[in-house]
Chains A and B, each alone.
Chain A
Amino acid sequence: MTLLNTSDKLTKYQKELNGKLSGNIKTEILVSMGTCGIAAGTTPVLEELKKEVVEQNMQDSVRIVQVGCMGLCHSEPTIEVIDRESGHCVVFGNVAADKAKAIVAKTIRAAGVDPVAKTWYYPEEGQNTGSALQARIVLRNCGRINPESIDEYISRSGYQAAAKALTSMKSAEVISTILDSGLRGRGGGGFPTGKKWQFAAAQKADAKYVICNADEGDPGAFMDRAVLEGDPHSVLEAMIIAGYAVGSHDGVIYIRAEYPLAVKRLHHAIGQAKEMGLLGKNIFGSGFDFDIELKYGAGAFVCGEETALIHSVEGKRGEPGFKPPFPAISGLWKKPTVVNNVETYANVCAIIRNGAAWFKKIGTENSPGTKVFSLTGKINKVGLIEVPMGTTLRDIIFSLGEGIKDNKKFKAVQTGGPSGGCITEANLDSPIDYNSLIALGSMMGSGGMIVLDEDDCMVNIAKFFLEFTLDESCGRCTPCRIGNKRLHEMLNEITIGNGTHEILGKLRKLSETIKDTALCGLGQTSPNPVLSTIKNFESEYLAHIDHKKCPAKVCVKLLSYKINDNCVGCTLCARNCPVTCISGERKQKHLIDQAKCIKCGVCYEACKFHAIDKN
């Protein structure tokens, strides 16, 4: 491998690559090989494509690239076909292996698979010309390059930002660029990244650390994983820049063990960067040394909290510590430590390359840039999206997500994971950024966005998040350890029909106290789902309490299944019932034994005649 130990060598190498990579290639086929793509069955598609290219003798003109997540989860397996000459590209969704042949035969439109519209643009490469709502800074390389090839990363100006920072900027300039850009931490709290760096840089210490928090754990959030799997070098490069800025020579990436593919790709990327001299001693001849080490989480959500993460890196139980002192003053091994999450780092290189002013133009005044969201739940187009801050939820849900599944009625969107809250129809038009979400009683969190429809019970949703917090609470402080347990129990009482107004009052009061007293961010925000659902859906709580009814028909204890006169006596329900509590002669109306019924709903699903009422 070439040693890129000066900035000039890097530029020269990039030029060579750009020539070489294009070569005689006429068509590029990008195959989405992220975890979800693979889960949906991309691997056989890839194999088939490779075979076909050989069979049709097109090795010289067609290049197959395994790329990371394109974000089009709703249509996995996805592949993108790019015609080099015209620049025309089409994304195909739901590609089955047997369609590969047709695609390779370049009969793009005749392939018999659905083309999927791409609705994003790249701010670095040009202006948004049309209606695209998505702007890709963080995901600029995801789904476009082979994440296992450092060459492809370099060919897209990879490591140019680090070269620029290390060879032509003072560390203070790097920090002021990040400060000026207004970049805020994408992990949840939204603390200005430049300030964090500034604090750490101001400390005098024999060692400092730069940590990448890749312990993404919010249920329903997978944007960091997409970056790590699809563009690992962008994180490494940003960490080098952060190290240079604060005066640290040691980087640590703390990554969930549940992300094996991301681990593998990071490992690979670090190896490549070391070989090319992009990590190690005297990077770009600047005299600056930097190395990165991988540390694995082991299944503890709370380790996403920075002090808990540091304890975990130190090999301890991942219990958060109190702040102050903040990690920037005393962190890993009691040394000044910068902790940023993956998405934050993924912004850094673009900011260094294009300048703070460029970045500030995107997004809102208090929250510049973009935000990646994983859009899931009861929505037509589940996927990973990156939008400028300030985009409205309506645009996200109804334009990008193409509305609610099965034409159901939108009820709420939950943001911020277990720390966040629910936002209702009334607020769908407010532009979202850090501040506006907090004003709406939710928070940005890491970017999970779960859409709920009329079939979701909000009490049950609150209970679900509480259950998650209970599972993941470290157990150190009283409010989180016992308080959340009690909240959960009270919610449970409501869902099984034992709710009272006194319980509702206690639920509110205890939630407020937990927010006010818990030790760490997880604990302090854990009652948010409760408070926000009570605030926005009080009537639903009251229906459970006063009428012992679950309006969304979710809370099993409050449900009953009854067979109505539509019944033709087909016996299908009786045959499917797991506890055989449905009786009735053939061609006679059937009857459910309420005492035996476990309310599993199998009969309801099975019945073809709408003969079963769920109430």
Chain B
Amino acid sequence: MLKLRINGMPVTVEDNSTILQAARKLDIKIPTLCHMELDCFNLEHRIGSCRVCVVEVSGRRNLAPACCTPVEDNMEVRTHTLRAINARRTMLDLLLSNHPKDCLTCEKNLDCELQALAQEMGLHRIMYKGEQAKRKIDLANESIVRDMNKCIMCRRCETACNTIQTVGILSGVKRGFNSIVSTASEKPLAETKCTFCGQCVAACPVGALTEMNRTYDVWRALNDETKHVIVQTAPAVRVALGEEFGLEPGSISTGKMVTGLRMLGFDKVFDTDFAADLTIMEETTEFIQRLKENKNLPILTSCCPGWVKFFEHQFPDLLHIPSTAKSPQQMFGAMAKTYYAKKIGVEASEITVVSVMPCLAKKNEAARPEFARDGVRDVDIVISTRELANMLKEAGIQFNELRNSAFDNPMGESTGAGVIFGSTGGVLEAVLRTAADWVSGTEVKDIDFEDVRGLAGIKEATVNVAGTEIRVAIASGLGNARTLLEKIRRGESKYHAIEIMACPGGCLNGGGQPYIHGDTTILEKRRLALYDEDRSKTIRKSHENPYIQKIYREFLGEPGSHLAHELLHTHYTARKNE
């Protein structure tokens, strides 16, 4: 333990603590910008580059960056001397001098850390004028907009992409005033092995990385008389959307969300959770089949499009082991344009399917060529949780005041198993719930598989499913996924099934969710909310969903049937690993 004084106040901290951490103990929040801590994943991006957090340390010639200066015993720190404040302001002045001043029209307006700091520090005029970087904006993909003119070189995205996700498409390039974070040869994302997971967007403190906004397309569809516009909402959306309206993190706003969507003008409001149950039917069938044949194990889940693109690029030799089941979003789209279209007697081309997703990779997934039939896309428009919040605000809908209402049928009913898809471990638990019943031929009562829950990056468990020992592993975050995949490649894996989600913590921490600005306690709250929702459901196993049973009865036949394969399964493509 080390003792120090900050602004004259004594504080004791653990060895290896930084000044920033010590100050926090005294409830002093030293401003930071490049710094990023993701406590619950044990990750810290400590680069010390923005110099906004500088403080005075007695006996030192220069100011010290609080985020990366280790505490020494008997240190004397002063956090807001005139010298420190002037330096901090100058750092912001400099950053602003090389930043477009178009905050009013910026995607991140009011959600920007640079803007917030400028406001907090009382910067009221532009101090330095001079050359500003001019860089081409990358708009050439469905998911992510990269406007590097706004980049402040905090390089959090680099850590997100390279260290956390190990996708590795970003690097600092060039040097000096021209230095920037970019891809190899500064190519557009679409020409790289980017998975579009959006973790870079989640990490970006400013408007340099944002989602490709499609809200206007939704407005257009909603105002098109010739279209029957339906919406599906992913499980993780309902436990985060409220944050955009000032509700406590972890608030479950399913009912308000449904009401709000209806008020926006959607003809039907459906639930991706329904499709998640459908996914379980197909995936579990495939799993039990492989288990019986002891072939192509472990089975890997395939509902996460970031993860799918990751293995297509980086593990093209393992394309045979992921489940061929489509993701819930795409199963929903396929059912909407076939089963549902037939049911309501409308041509598929007249239906517009809108998805609300916590995810940016879903935008890219929906645009993949294989997810269309006869030129009609299964899913037409994908918007993120944040975009939905924007639309509700734009429409003047007082979200917090809304009454609850329920999803429409036939694709709105879901089980607890479908709900937990939004969290790491959830998909596998849903599989296990169904597999347990199917393998044993009974109704298994104890369906809370606690071992597979929690935010830990890699979880392993051996689960007894009707007398069979099933070894499972769960990874969230592509870096953790890589660890497991390399084990498989080396033949060291002893698992039967592995669930992978690209984002650390799963969809609840997706690239399209409300920004958490480094506060990972929010993630745990979202997670617990999902499991609360699960517990509150009367039906908690996918195969018991009456509408699922109905869709098989009326349309698909059996899980794994020919039609099911045609509509609900997909294939993977080896892609360039560059």
Q: Which residues of A contact B (CB under 8 A)?
A: 300, 317, 319, 322, 324, 470-479, 481-486, 489, 506, 509-510, 513, 515-519, 524
Report the nearest B residue to A519, measured CB to CB.
B48
Nearest chain-B residue to A513 (Cβ)?
Answer: B90
The number of A-B residue pairs with CB atoms under 8 Å apart is 100
CB distance from A96 to the nearest CB of B (A): 43
Q: B207 → chain A, closest Cβ, in Å?
A: 18
Cβ–Cβ contact A474 & B176, under 8 A: yes
A319 vs B177: C-alpha distance when bound (angstroms)? 14
- Please name all residues of chain A whose beta carbon is closer than 8 Å to the beta carbon of B127 when the two chains form the complex: 506
B130 touches A475 (CB 8 A): no
Stretch at the interface among B61-69, B266-274, B344-352, B553-561: B61-69
> What residues on B are CB-neighbors of A472 within 8 Å?
175-176
The 10 closest A-B pairs by CB, nearest first: A475-B179, A473-B176, A482-B94, A489-B130, A513-B90, A517-B51, A485-B177, A486-B128, A475-B175, A475-B176
The chain B residue sitting closest to A318, CB to CB, is: B175
- Give the residue name and chain of the B residue nearest to A514 (CB): B90
Interchain CB contact under 8 A, B49 and A478: yes
Query: Which A residues are CB-close (under 8 A) to B179?
Result: 474-476, 481
Question: Does the CB pair B177–A489 fall under 8 Å?
Answer: no
A510 to B62, CA, bound (A): 14
B83 touching A489, Cβ below 8 Å: no
Contact assessment for B51 and A475 in the assembled complex, using a CB-CB cutoff below 8 Å: no
The listed residue (B49, B70, B178) touching A519 by CB distance below 8 A is B49
Residues of B within 8 A of A475 (CB): 153, 172, 174-179
The docked-state distance in angstroms from the alpha carbon of A324 to that of B62 is 14
Interface of A is mostly: helix
Given the complex of chains A and B, what is the CA–CA distance between A74 and B26 in angstroms? 64
User: Which residues from chain A contact B54 at a C-beta distance below 8 Å?
Assistant: 516-517
Give bound CA distance, A484 to B52, whole Å.
Answer: 17
Q: Are A479 and B176 in contact (CB under 8 A)?
A: no
| A479-B91, A481-B179 known; A516+B62 contact, CB < 8 A | yes
- Of all chain B residues, which has the CB nearest A492? B130
Chain B residues with Cβ below 8 Å from A474 are 175-176, 179
> 30 A-B residue contacts at CB 8 Å?
A300-B175, A317-B171, A317-B172, A470-B176, A472-B176, A473-B176, A475-B174, A475-B176, A477-B51, A478-B50, A478-B95, A478-B152, A479-B51, A479-B91, A481-B153, A481-B177, A481-B179, A482-B94, A486-B130, A489-B130, A489-B131, A506-B128, A509-B90, A513-B86, A516-B87, A517-B54, A517-B87, A517-B90, A519-B49, A519-B65
Q: List, in ascending order, chain B residues with CB within 8 A of A483's CB.
A: 90, 94
Asked if B98 lies at the interface with its beta carbon under 8 angstroms from chain A, I say yes
How many residues from B make CB contacts under 8 Å with A? 36
Q: B6 to chain A: closest CB distance in Å?
A: 19
Contact of A524 among B62, B68, B95 (CB under 8 A): B62
Contacts of B172 in A (CB 8 A): 317, 319, 475-476
B51 touches A478 (CB 8 A): yes
Partner of B62, one of A317, A471, A489, A517: A517
Q: Could you tell me if B176 and A519 are in contact, using CB atoms closer than 8 angstroms?
A: no
Min CB distance, B555 to chain A, in Å? 56
State the Cβ distance, B128 to closest chain A Cβ, in Å. Answer: 5
CB-contact partner of A471 in B47, B70, B131, B176, under 8 A: B176
Query: A478 and B62: CB pair below 8 A?
Result: no
Q: How far is the CA of A524 from the CA of B62 in the complex (A)?
A: 9
CB distance from A516 to the nearest CB of B (A): 5
**CA A477 to CA B91, docked complex, whole Å:** 10
With both beta carbons as reference points, the residue of chain A lying nearest to B83 in the complex is identified as: A516
Inter-chain CA distance A290–B51, complex, in Å, is 41
Please state if A470 and B177 are interface contacts (CB–CB under 8 Å).
yes
Chain B residue at minimum C-beta to C-beta distance from A324: B70
B570 within 8 A of A: no
Let me know if B95 and A482 touch, CB within 8 A.
yes
Taking a contact as CB atoms under 8 Å apart, the answer to whether A478 and B94 are in contact is yes
Q: Give every chain B residue within 8 A of A506 (Cβ-Cβ).
A: 127-128
* Min CB gap B425→A, angstroms: 34
Q: Which chain A positions have C-beta within 8 A of B90?
A: 479, 483, 509-510, 513, 517
Q: Which residues of B contact A484 (CB under 8 A)?
A: 177
537-567 of chain B: CB within 8 A of chain A: none
**Chain A nearest CB, measured from B250 CB (Å):** 36
- Given the known A-B contacts A473-B175, A474-B176, A517-B62, are A486 and B94 also in contact in the complex, defined by CB atoms under 8 Å? yes
Could you tell me if B49 and A482 are in contact, using CB atoms closer than 8 angstroms? no
Which of A322, A485, A486 is B68 in contact with, Cβ under 8 Å?
Answer: A322
Report the separation of the CA atoms of residues A524 and B87 in the bound assembly, to the nearest whole angstrom.
13
Q: A475-B177, A478-B94, A519-B65 are in contact. List 7 more A-B contacts (CB 8 A).
A: A322-B48, A471-B176, A472-B176, A478-B152, A481-B153, A483-B94, A489-B131
Q: Answer yes or no: B259 CB below 8 A from chain A CBs.
A: no
A484 to B47, CA, bound (A): 20
Bound state CA distance, A484 and B179, in angstroms?
Answer: 14
Residues of chain B from 94 to 125 with CB closer than 8 A to chain A in the complex: 94-95, 97-98
Question: Smallest CB–CB gap between B94 and chain A, Å?
Answer: 4
CA distance A387 to B182 in the complex (A): 48
Contacts of A300 in B (CB 8 A): 175
Looking at the assembled complex, report how far the CB atom of B149 sits from the nearest CB atom of chain A, in whole angstroms.
14
Chain B residues with Cβ below 8 Å from A515 are 62
Q: Which residues of B contact A513 (CB under 8 A)?
A: 86-87, 90
List of A residues within 8 angstroms of B49 by Cβ: 476-478, 519
Residue of A nearest to B33 (CB): A478
CB neighbours of A485 from chain B (8 A): 98, 130-131, 177
CB-CB < 8 A to B175: which residues of A?
300, 317, 472-475
Within 29-86 of B, Cβ neighbours of A (below 8 Å) are at 47-52, 54, 62-63, 65, 68-70, 83, 86
Give chain B interface residues in 167-188, CB to chain A under 8 Å.
171-172, 174-179
Collect the chain A residues with CB atoms within 8 Å of residue B83's CB.
516
A493 to nearest B CB, angstroms?
10
Complex CA gap A481/B172 in Å reads 13
Interface residue ranges of B139-155 to A (CB < 8 Å): 152-153
Interface centre among B50, B94, B127, B171 (most CB of A within 10 A): B94
Complex formed: what's the CA distance from A357 to B95 in Å? 52
Chain B residues in 8 Å Cβ range of A473: 175-177
Give every chain A residue within 8 A of B174 (Cβ-Cβ): 475
By a CB distance below 8 angstroms, the chain B residues around A481 are: 153, 176-177, 179
Alpha-carbon distance between A479 and B90 when the two chains are bound, in angstroms: 9
Contact A482 B98 (CB under 8 A): yes
Residues in chain B near residue A516, CB distance under 8 A: 54, 62-63, 83, 87
Other-chain residue from B68, B86, B91, B130 in contact with A478 (beta carbon distance below 8 A): B91
Residues of A within 8 A of B94 (CB): 478-479, 482-483, 486
Residue in B47, B63, B68, B178 whose CB lies within 8 Å of A517? B63
Which residues does chain B contribute within 8 Å of A509, judged by CB atoms?
90
Q: Which residues of A contact B70 (CB under 8 A)?
A: 324
* Chain A residues, CB < 8 A from B130: 485-486, 489
Inter-chain CA distance A515–B62, complex, in Å, is 7
Q: How far is the CB of A521 from chain B (nearest CB, A)?
A: 10
Q: Which residue of B lies closest to A302 (CB)?
A: B175
Contacts of A489 in B (CB 8 A): 130-131
Pairwise interchain contact B62-A477, C-beta atoms closer than 8 A: no
Name the distance in Å between A39's Cβ and chain B's nearest Cβ.
Answer: 29
Report A-chain residues with C-beta under 8 Å of the C-beta of B153.
475-476, 478, 481
Taking CB atoms, residues of chain A closer than 8 Å to B178 are 475
Q: Using Cβ atoms and an 8 Å threshold, which residues of chain A touch B47?
A: 476
In Å, the complex CA distance between A477 and B63 comes to 14
Residue with the greatest number of chain B CB neighbours at <10 A, chosen from A324, A483, A509: A483
Q: Which residues of B contact A517 (CB under 8 A)?
A: 51, 54, 62-63, 87, 90-91
In the complex, residue of chain B having the shortest beta-carbon distance to the beta carbon of A469: B176
- Nearest CB of B to A262, in Å: 24
B residues near A476, Cβ cutoff 8 Å: 47, 49, 153, 172, 179
From residue B96, how far is it (CB to closest CB) to chain A in Å? 9
Q: How far is the CA of A519 from the CA of B175 in the complex (A)?
A: 15
Instruction: Report Cα–Cα, A473/B178, bound state, in Å.
Output: 10
Smallest Cβ-Cβ distance to B91: which chain A residue: A478
